[in-house]
Amino acid sequence: MKHVHAGVLDIAYFELGPADGVPTILLHGFPYDANAYDGVASRLAASGHRCIVPFLRGYGATRFLSPATPRSGEQAALGADLLSLMNALGIEKAILGGYDWGGRAACIVAALWPERVIGLVSAGTGYNIQDIAGAANPGAPDQEARDWYQYYFHTERGRKGLEQQRDQISRFLWQTWSPSWSFNDETFERSAAAFDNPDFLDVVIHSYRHRYGVVPGDPAYAEVEARLAEQPDITIPTIVLLGADDGVDPPSTEDKDAIHFKGTYDRQILAGIGHNVPQEAPTIFADAVRDLRPDQQLRGR
């Protein structure tokens, strides 16, 4: 594990592959950690990619540099963290891959700073930039039921639940979001160790309250949030990977996100795969990243 000061964080990250390889940043989601990319990163490193796999704010050994910094989990903060990481490591352009929170960070940088991105692999959700202004509009009843944890975290009962039972809640989410994935105790516990971060609770609670407009964001990211409110398009080559068995955000046969992708675009629905695409289907995820290399032509599948 390595560390680098980037923006407001000391970011802990794994690095695999040749130092002069294709820069590739892989970003995990909630409630997961950087170990979700063990299989992906090892495959990519063997084929010439320099893989950077960070722990997001509030996870693992990543820490805030100042106790005064708000423990924000808002989308703009995640995007800013990724851009700061690239700057701190001197990475001019990279392939970005992510799912859940990490996919959101990757989509944000791809949308707002496309000159820094070679290509994007977005898993779990295609266009993963939140429409906070529209968050008050209810969804279909079955989707509202799947989002129970988000509403739970809006309450003090939910905050206490996550504080006291974070492993139990996280394991339950793993099971229900990836019903076809037979992970073992060792796999879960390796990731669950990342939830012991002292800022995990505050960052997670803020994330799920901010996205519905329940709490304000960090003023430091107000300008970025304003740009995201415009729902900017993504113009760089993108591959979207969706698990057919995703228990929290099951894919529709109708691609409502396509209007936001103006570059080369490929959407795949993966049979037998749930929400945690890189850990459940590392070969498919790694192949998608390889398809975005500068020396490769994006292929439809």
Residues of the chain falling short of pLDDT 70: 297-301
List the CATH code of the domain at 2-291: 3.40.50.1820
Mention every residue, 6+ apart, whose C-beta is less than 8 A from residue 121. 95, 96, 97, 98, 106, 238, 239, 240, 241, 285, 288, 289, 292
Domain ranges (residues) in the chain = 2-291
**Closest C-alpha to 242, from 284, 265, 270, 261:** 270
**b/e for 2-19, b at 16 or more Cβ within 10 A?**
eebebbbbebbbbebbee
**What count of Cα atoms within 13 Å lies in the side-chain half-sphere of residue 104?**
21
Taking 3-state DSSP, the helix, strand and coil percentages for the chain, each rounded to the nearest 5, stand at 45, 20, 40
Per-residue pLDDT at 47: 97
Per-residue pLDDT at 295: 83
Q: Tens digit of pLDDT for each residue in 60-93?
A: 999 999 999 999 999 999 999 999 999 999 999 9
**H helix or E strand, kind and range, residue 92:** none
Per-residue pLDDT at 210: 98
Per-residue pLDDT at 300: 43
The three-class DSSP label of residue 119 is strand
**Closest C-alpha to 208, from 173, 254, 168:** 173
**What count of Cα atoms within 13 Å lies in the side-chain half-sphere of residue 291?**
21
Q: Tens digit of pLDDT for each residue in 205-241?
A: 999 999 999 999 999 999 999 999 999 999 999 999 9
Per-residue pLDDT at 127: 97
